[in-house]
Chain A
Amino acid sequence: MTFKKPSVLPGFNLSLGYTLFYLGLIVLLPLSALVYKTAGLEWADFWSTVSDPRVVASYRLTFGASFIAALLNLVFGLLVAWVLVRYSFPGKRLIDAMVDLPFALPTAVAGIALATLYAPNGWIGKHFAEDGLIGELLGKEIKLAFTPLGIVIALIFISLPFVVRTVQPVLEDLEIELEEAASSLGASRWQIFSRVILPTIWPALLTGFALAFARAIGEYGSVVFIAGNMPMESEITPLLIISKLEQFDYLGATAIAVVMLAASFAMLLVINLLQWWTAKRLGRRT
């Protein structure tokens, strides 16, 4: 196999070899162990494990809630990044640092804190109770914690930094002259945003979305505390994997894990392709 354009940089063989070895050791080896272990399962057993209605309901919840959370972060994360790049105000550095907190905080801590806040007797949750401010306004109780809504809240929390941190540098590099040129040619503010800025940051936004989505799918620690964990209703897939393990059902746990792995990989691949395609369409080198 020959490469189209041999790089002028030396050390290609060495660095590629190292990259493959490293990826193999850190990523591929544990994952193939997972697949290998599942291979000990008969196909019929595998299928009945991964297509159990309870498990299917958990896929729907996990992927659905992750998608919603990533989508919301796509919008609001962009907003945060925009504010951090385009405006200067006192305490900006502090807010900038705060964005990274969900990265650093142990997820269980986040989960417990969120559950405490959003529980029906918590600071935020109580306003949504029947006799709370918002609850009375709407005439009914809105349960936040211990419902799928609680899961989405937790996932928004943990995946926020991904969108902000991928979009921020691209926004920073955006040449102000482009916008000035557009403006002098008579473009409105909305046109500048939608025709000049958005296409430039779109690949970064997609990457941020993909990262946030992937992170949310795998999240366990923060979600279990706020989810309620009711079968068919608020059980996420990672919880089912853990509960299978707790019943000493190692094969069942790996079977579900393999399905999740395959689904996540497929989705990330699609998003990567989409990103590659949009970048190409916009005539940028990837």
Chain B
Amino acid sequence: MRFNKIIATLALAAIGSTAWAARVNLLNVSYDPTRELYQDYNKAFAAHWKQQTGDDVTIRQSHGGSGKQARSVIDGVDASVVTLALAYDIDAIAEKGKKLNSNWQKQFAHNSSPYTSTIVFLVRKGNPKKIKDWNDLVRPDVKVITPNPKTSGGARWNYLAAWGYALKQPGGNEQKAAEFVGKILKNVPVLDSGARGATVTFAERGLGDVLLAWENEAQLAGKEWGPDKFDTVYPSISILAEPPVAVVDKNVDKKGTRKVAEAYLQYLYSKEGQEIAAKHYYRPTDKEIAAKYARQFPKLRLLTIDKDFGGWTKAQKTHFADGGTFDRIYKPGK
């Protein structure tokens, strides 16, 4: 970090001390599948910022499992902004790291989620096991690939989507939902620690009949491994995943980069930002852009974390904390 600054200063000094454009560095700490999205977006934002203010902005990105990334920010990685898989991880930065306000989610529109996503099924081409909906996942002949919800943000969305489906069935209740999700987990042969790992297990190792994946990961798999390999299946119900963004107050105030950091996240809501998100298969929140890309994003019934699960803090505690429903499903003798 400091080294970069020194280099930049030296470079600028060499050019000469006549008027120069200020040079700003930002670090965006993000989760696994946004790599390609932010590569494109950073370029667009840098051009936009240059045009607006004449300043150069360099944005570096860091990617990994959402929880791990949050922990690295708590432990002191100098993130200017975080763009993670779920609000709980940013809450943790606010709570355990005291690096931002606990009401960070009010700062930007739509719960600070400029784009949304959902959980879909990726199946082998032609869907040989005829997997149509969540209730096909409990069939004994179906092997399901999903990462470990304890370590992967995406897997928590998968888990809750399945849980929500069971709840919404006629006569559904918490106990039936737990049984249902338990049966699905019995069909899981490998629990990877992150979403990308699970995608590799499914696509590259050929394990499993269905991968529970982020909508954008599923679309990307088609691109990466060829459209003749997999099909995407949209279940009847899924969950509205809102990957939120936030400015890390403490870090930007220390370095005086608040203005550009806020502009960086705000620009995600612009037409251009929304368009880039849509191109990378994230569902835009902007109505106009959403309409433009409507064909790409089939409509389905989406549960929300706030309405159907009482918010992340509660969902985390009920399901994923030690002793939660996930742990109970894996208790021996069951």
Interface residues of A (CB under 8 A from B): 52-54, 57, 115-116, 119-122, 145-146, 224, 228-232, 239, 242-243, 245-249, 252
* B57 partner residues in chain A, CB cutoff 8 A: none
A52 and chain B: residue at smallest CB distance: B322
Name the CB-closest residue of B to A122: B205
**Contacting residue for B190 out of A52, A228, A242, CB 8 A:** A228
- CB-based A-B contact count at 8 angstroms: 67
Find chain B residues with CB under 8 A from A145 CB: 205
**With A53-B331, A54-B327, A231-B330 known to touch, is A252 a contact of B206 (CB < 8 Å)?**
no
Beyond the given A146-B189, A242-B151, A247-B67, please list 10 additional residue pairs across the A-B interface where CB-CB is below 8 A. Answer: A119-B205, A146-B207, A228-B189, A229-B190, A229-B191, A230-B190, A232-B330, A246-B65, A247-B321, A248-B74
Q: Is the CB of B327 within 8 A of A121?
A: no
> Which residues of B pack against A, CB within 8 Å?
65, 67-68, 70-71, 74, 92, 96, 148, 150-151, 188-193, 204-207, 320-322, 327, 330-332
A246 close to B207 (CB less than 8 A): no
B193 touches A243 (CB 8 A): yes
Contact B206 A248 (CB under 8 A): no
Tell me, rounded to whole Å, the shortest Cβ–Cβ distance linking B207 to chain A.
7
Q: Can you identify 11 A-B contacts, CB atoms within 8 angstroms?
A: A115-B205, A116-B204, A116-B205, A119-B207, A120-B206, A122-B205, A146-B190, A229-B190, A246-B71, A248-B71, A248-B96
State the CA gap A161–B150 with chains docked (Å).
35
Q: Is the CB of A120 within 8 A of B205?
A: yes
Query: What distance in Å separates the Cβ of B110 from its nearest Cβ neighbour in chain A?
Result: 26
Out of B67, B96, B205, which one reaches A246, CB within 8 Å?
Answer: B67
Question: For the complex, what is the distance from the CA of A22 to the CA of B207, rounded to whole Å?
Answer: 48
Chain A residues within 8 Å of B191, by CB = 228-231
Query: How far is B205's CA from A115's CA once the two chains are assembled, in angstroms?
Result: 8
Complexed CA–CA distance, A226 and B123 (Å)? 23
Q: Which of A53, A121, A248 contacts B205 (CB 8 A)?
A: A121
Q: Contacts A229-B192, A247-B321, A248-B92 given: A121-B206 contact, CB under 8 Å? A: yes
Of all chain A residues, which has the CB nearest B191? A229
Q: Point out which of A116, A119, A248, A249 has the most chain B C-beta atoms below 10 A from its C-beta.
A: A248
- Identify which of A122, A146, A229, A247 contacts B193 (C-beta below 8 A): A229
Q: Which residues of B contact A120 (CB under 8 A)?
A: 205-207
